[in-house]
Amino acid sequence: MSKPASNVLFLCTGNSVRSIIAERLLDHWGKGRFKGWSAGSQPKGAVHPLAIRLLKQVGLPTEGLRSKGWEEFARPDAPSMDYVFTVCDQAAGEVCPIWPGHPITAHWGIPDPAAVRGSETQQMQAFRDAVRMLERRIQLFVALHERDLNRAEKQARVIEIGGLRDDAATKDKAS
């Protein structure tokens, strides 16, 4: 009998870009072993149009994506989370709900691509950089689960993943 998918909740203040992208990337790279979810402390109410466009460009589904509040995942009838990751600095500094099941948590701060001003090309590059950073961390996270680690080791590793410098995105820009 196969093990049920591990639930991972990505949190960001607005739940319109980074957490949404992370949700879909985890669903893709997790290959059924993980289920991505996303929410925000102050949801914008809509997914950013450039996030939708970029997800479509990289071949990830956008159906059913919506900006929602994290209280949906703190209710007793919500899916039990195995992991909760904040992907923006503001959400990391907020007082989060007590998550049922006491998931492993970490901060995976990613710069907000929606805050970039400039041409559409510059804005899309910021969105691509966010995808690249999230994808790198998610791939490492998924690979982590191929190892036999106890809870404390997993906690330490997901914190390490969140602290990675994102030189890959910087290098790609410089080339």
Neighbours of 24 (CB within 10 A): 22
Q: Is 75 a catalytic residue?
A: no
* Residue 175 in tokens: 């080339």
Q: Is 12 a catalytic residue?
A: yes
Q: Is 144 a catalytic residue?
A: no
Closest CA to 101 of 84, 86, 82: 82
- Catalytic residue, candidates 21, 88, 92, 142: 88
- Catalytic residue, candidates 52, 60, 74, 96: 96
Sheet containing strand 34-40, strands side by side = 34-40, 6-12, 83-86, 104-107
Tell me which residue has tokens 């001003």.
117
- Catalytic residue, candidates 8, 11, 12, 21: 12
Residues annotated as catalytic (active site), given as ranges: 12, 88, 96
